[in-house]
Structure 1
Amino acid sequence: MKKTWTEAQSYCREQYSDLATAENMDDMNKLKDLMKSAGYGNIWIGLQRTNQNEWHWSSGDRVIFQNWEPGQPDSTAECATMKEGKWNDVECSDTNTFICYNRSSQLVFVNQKKNWREAQSHCRENHVDLVTVRNSIENQELERIINDNQKYKDDVWMGLFRDSWQWSDQSKSSFRYWITGEPNNIGGNENCVVINTMHQGSWADIRCDQQISFICQEDKLILIQQNLTWLESMGYCRQHHVDLVSVDSVEMQRRVGNVVKRASTEKVWLGLHNFCSMNMWIWLNGEVVCYQNWAPGNGIAPEDCRLEWRKGAMESGEDHHWISLPESRKLNFICTN
């Protein structure tokens, strides 16, 4: 079908979940496989320009730690470097050395001067991506590697950049895959994004009113906006879908966090229950809780199960922390499909 971006978004939300989001190269490779049947041309995905210019990591991680030089960022520049352990905003067209990370999370100093986009491409082709800094310890490690490999105190690219693009499904993914020279916003109104089959699936910005084909996505996480107890929620999921969701990784936490924002209750049931006699939290899929995101005071101390069993819920607010609650509370819940 050929539709405008807004028409395509409406169709995908009615028939599936939303217009397609690409969160990493694995997603892009799936989109490229789908494109093979589309012939040549442009295909809508779910990325649209907004009025908010936000900082992101190239890896897709959220920006939860910052270490700007005093007075920075101080311009409209959209990329960031590290110099003597502090961050600075600079023009993405500048050329600097840079640091990648590989699949074992080792950092690799690349002693070649490239602009930010070229550095990003080099890291993705030869390693995984430009480096992400999530806390002060990682910041110190990055500073150490730069000092060990650099004779002069010059700027070094990190994976930090900012833009005003937002995914239709409200995903916080900062993965970008632009064609060289894009986005260029010709005419000042190219506010929607396509993947281009003639450029190996790389992206371009075009006008949103063009009528072209599009790709939808079907989320495997289903928010049920009914208020049920934990046991009732589990029964509903097992009857209509698969089970209550288990959040066993940072990636799944992020995915569930994207879904839970649409809940009509302040907390949402997860497939998390307390094995009281051993003071142990277990997921319905059988896994012991390893990755954790408990709110302060939750999930640590022994639970008092004399009156009622305790189950795990996620806050639908910004931090999406986990909360221990009596199983009789009636909440929205998330099933896996």
Structure 2
Amino acid sequence: MSTESRTQSAVVYVETGDASVLHLVEREIHDPGPGEVRVRVVRSGVNPTDWKSRTGSGPGQRLPFGEVVPNQDGAGVVDAVGDGVTGFAVGDRVWTFLSAQERPTGTAQQFTILPVDRVAPLPEGASFDVGASLGVPAVTAHRALTVAEDGPRRLAPGALEGRTVLVSGGAGAVGHAAIQLARWAGATVVATVSGPEKATLATAAGAQHVVNYRDDDAAEQIRAVASDGVDIVVEVAIASNLDLDLAVLRPRGVIASYADGGGDSVEVAIRPNMVRNTRFQFILIYTMGEEALAAAAEDVTAAVAVGVLEVGEENGLPLHHFALEQTADAHRAVEADTVGKVLIDVE
């Protein structure tokens, strides 16, 4: 589509509710302001945070904006730059993150305008599928891998050398990113899964050891890999998995929890965790801070540049493509816990 027409297709909603509140409309294309870039979106990535934001705490609620374009993640090409923007030029390939944070315009549209600090270069050779699969999963995984008391604070080859990382839910999008980033940084990775199909995906992502967390001897299997205990747990369901995590965590180890996994609360025994100097780190991408976001964007981009974080079933993350007009179906797929990554083909 040419921007001369000054209109674009966009998916919007004007109140909270189920996926039926999403509608395809035509909207004017705006110019970027100072410090902003306009991105021609090729792929839009859908995450659980997107449908949870859409539903709110109940249907029919008013929104902070007149209408909202959903989806935090995406990939595309810089189409225009605002005053004061450096580091990006028209034609640059980029991936985006937190595209709709405190803003009404996400990536479920043909063009989106973003602050320049919400885009990162998409290295040559990396597909738009990869770019749109980064964002929430990769930034969250990076944060989880960089909050241990003994470091590191940044990821690069060798940064996790000699460490053992336990990735809970190794077949999920964050789990996939955590496995690949941890391996790139030199860690030994153990992933837990619920069955053989997900074990195949976690292995394809790069986990050297895969354990079914339902096995009675799951802790013994993990301890066989890490006799002194694991250094970092990347946890998707702390309420369900805490006993297993604590059974395999080393002294001064960290449990980095990024999702509730269906549980609203968790009970922690004080004395044994005090003795172990256990660190509990809860993670939400929206409040992790600008310094951590910038570090994650840089490190993730560096990993992508050398072929890390590849997607597709052969790399442990099946892809599910939807057209822009099928955005409601894409949201429903994520809401139904579809295994893999849901992408919207905007272009």
TM-score, normalization: structure 2?
0.24
For the pair shown, the structure with the greater C-alpha radius of gyration is 1
Larger helix proportion, structure 1 or 2? 2
Larger strand proportion, structure 1 or 2? 1
